[in-house]
Amino acid sequence: MNFLIPWVDSHPRRLFALISLGCAALLAFGLYLQHVVGLEPCPMCIVQRYAMVLVALVAGLAATRSSRGALLASSVALLLIAGFGGFVAARQSWLQWYPPEVLSCGRDLYGMIENFPLQRVIPMVFKGSGDCAAVDWTFLGGSIANWSFLSFCAIALAALLIAVRAVRR
């Protein structure tokens, strides 16, 4: 990890750009899996996508700024967004490892939003359903939710490193 510290000190904007490009690549791969392979995203997958889009946007904007305050604010924002996305991915991974006894494929996210008030939709999304517990694709033994969790953890770690370095400057 010490080999990253000098690079983060001298190139935090490049690290933000790398995070933004990595998120764009992950989102493109998710769209490939949906539209070419035919995997339908569950509500928790869609929430993770929105979190990944927010990370890409914040990191992209942060890559254009060089002030210490902007670095710190962007890092904290990335840490919070990646933490939220990681939480959703961890919850979905848990549902995949310990599926609910009653599997019911509920509505998709847009159907829930159209038919229920927001205060009911949010708990429904995090509760998960049969489709959130399904593992339709794996790579090296990890599901999409597992890889999403690892990606959000890496983003959060990088953001934390940049924030610590910005405070120490």
Cβ-based burial of 104 (10 A; exposed 0-12, middle 13-18, buried ≥19): exposed
Percent of the chain clearing pLDDT 90 (strictly above)? 15
Q: Which amino acid, one-letter code, is at 143?
A: S
Q: Name the 3-class secondary structure at 168.
A: helix
pLDDT at 130: 46
Amino acid 47: pLDDT: 83
Cβ pair 75, 166 in contact under 8 A: yes
pTM of structure = 0.72
Question: Which of 50, 43, 48 is CA-nearest to residue 106?
Answer: 43
Distance CA 115, CA 131 (A): 19
pLDDT in tens, 66-119: 777 888 888 889 999 999 999 888 888 877 777 666 554 455 555 666 666 766
Residue 169 or 15, more confident: 15
Distance of alpha carbon 61 from alpha carbon 81, whole angstroms = 15
CA nearest to 105, candidates 137, 145, 132, 123 = 132
143 DSSP 8-state letter? E
The two structure tokens encoding residue 23: 């998120």
The whole-number average pLDDT for the span 41-63 is: 87
Q: Supply 153's token pair.
A: 């953890």
Which residues does 168 contact at the CB level (< 8 Å), separation at least 6?
Answer: none
**Structure-token match 């010490």, residue found:** 2
CATH topology of domain 4-168: Bromodomain-like (1.20.1550)
Say what the pLDDT of residue 152 is. Answer: 93
Give 109-149 pLDDT, tens digit per residue. 556 666 667 666 666 655 544 476 666 766 687 777 888 88
**Range of weakest confidence among 19-28, 51-60, 123-132, 142-151:** 123-132
> Whole-angstrom Cα distance, residue 159 to residue 8?
10
* Residue 138 β-bridge partners: 143
pLDDT value at residue 103: 52
